[in-house]
Structure 1
Amino acid sequence: MSDPASRTTTAVNPAQVQRLTDVVTQLRRALRSSIRTDYPWESLPMAQIELLQTLATGPLRVGELAARQRLAPNTVSGLIGKLLESGFVDRQADPGDRRTARIAVTEAGHRQLADWQQAHERRMAAALSLISAEDSAAVLGALGGLERLAVALGAEPPTT
């Protein structure tokens, strides 16, 4: 994260912050429900998809996965149990500590994740084609700022 003193201060309009929060919530809800159109066989909850996405970069211990997802280890263990039953992940010996295991995505898990991602990309591309070219360009132009916002939200504890 950059030095706090080097950041420019922008007046934050509470109504705009509320609108951003509402839009993000609407987008998440719309993505979750619209995926059923192109991917009706999907039965994995979003929490399991998010674990698969995180594990796709490489095997992790449950504690490491919990920390990255900002979830309780017992919550992650329960989700991992469901993914193990589905055959989307497996346990591997941890070369650094034989008492622990690392969780890794299986080939079936990689296929499931790729199918899910492709279905989302199709839905998003279709939706972008339904709005004006100007709105589509504005949405795509905002991606860098939204990515930085996501990093900032993940890195700093919220202030109240």
Structure 2
Amino acid sequence: MPEPVDHAAAGDRVDHADPEGPAGPVGPVDPAQVQRLTDAVTRLRRALRSSIRTDYPWESLPMAQVELLQTLAAGPLRVGELAARQRLAPNTVSGLVSRMLESGFVDRQADPGDRRTARIALTEAGHRQLADWQRAHERRIASALDALTPDDSAAVFGALGALERLATALGEDDGRA
């Protein structure tokens, strides 16, 4: 008899409209489990932010700017488009962009579709800063994963597909981590 396939762990798409799904009926969501997940995500984010500054004190780029760099890595965008993707007010994004222009991480480019507006694009320095930031985080996470048991590491990697779908369900569709 063939082994059952854990579709979520295998990275297969799960049809969330089908309450039966590949694993059977989906029951009510346990509020205690939702709270644990919320706490874990918050602690992970805080731990990453804190550990990167401990290991790399030069890293003073605020998360809001890092997230803009991540969004711009896919290509230039207008400030309004950036604001919509980041779910921030346009004036907040304008302020962040101004600081990033001063740092040399982004520049303004003429919008080929509308010469009255500009698009914000990453500079080489912005690409380098983002790549450095990403590598530093990958090293921190890899180190932490090495400290886990093999079963725990496998469970973390097995949950990635479901966590990515959760991010999509929460409305994050721009591909950021």
Which residue pairs with 1:56 in the alignment?
73
Structure 1 SS opposite 2:170:
helix
Aligned counterpart for 1:141 among listed residues 139, 150, 158: 158
Which residue pairs with 2:84 in the alignment?
67
Tell whether 2:18 aligns with 1:6: yes
Which residue pairs with 1:127 in the alignment?
144
Which residue pairs with 1:47 in the alignment?
64
Inter-partner Cα distance in structure 1 for 2:68 and 2:154: 31
Aligned counterpart for 1:93 among listed residues 110, 125, 146: 110
Q: Which runs of 5+ in 2 are unaligned?
A: 1-13, 21-25, 173-177
Contact 1:39-1:116 within 8 A present in 2 as well = no
Greater radius of gyration (CA): 2
RMSD: 1.8
Contact 1:94-1:100 within 8 A present in 2 as well = yes
Which residue pairs with 1:34 in the alignment?
51
**Identical counterparts, % of pairs:** 80
Inter-partner Cα distance in structure 1 for 2:164 and 2:81: 22
Inter-partner Cα distance in structure 1 for 2:126 and 2:71: 12
Aligned counterpart for 2:95 among listed residues 75, 78, 83: 78
**Bigger proportion of residues as helix:** 1
Deviation at 1:38, TM superposition (A): 2.8
Structure 2 SS opposite 1:140:
helix
Which residue pairs with 1:17 in the alignment?
34
How many residues were matched structurally? 156
Structure 2 SS opposite 1:142:
helix
Deviation at 1:10, TM superposition (A): 3.0
Structure 1 SS opposite 2:75:
coil
Q: TM-score, normalised by structure 2?
A: 0.83
Inter-partner Cα distance in structure 1 for 2:18 and 2:95: 42
Contact 1:83-1:89 within 8 A present in 2 as well = yes
Point out which structure has higher relative CO (alpha carbons under 8 A, 6+ apart).
2
Structure 2 SS opposite 1:109:
helix
Contact 2:53-2:60 within 8 A present in 1 as well = no
Inter-partner Cα distance in structure 2 for 1:93 and 1:87: 17
Deviation at 1:3, TM superposition (A): 7.5
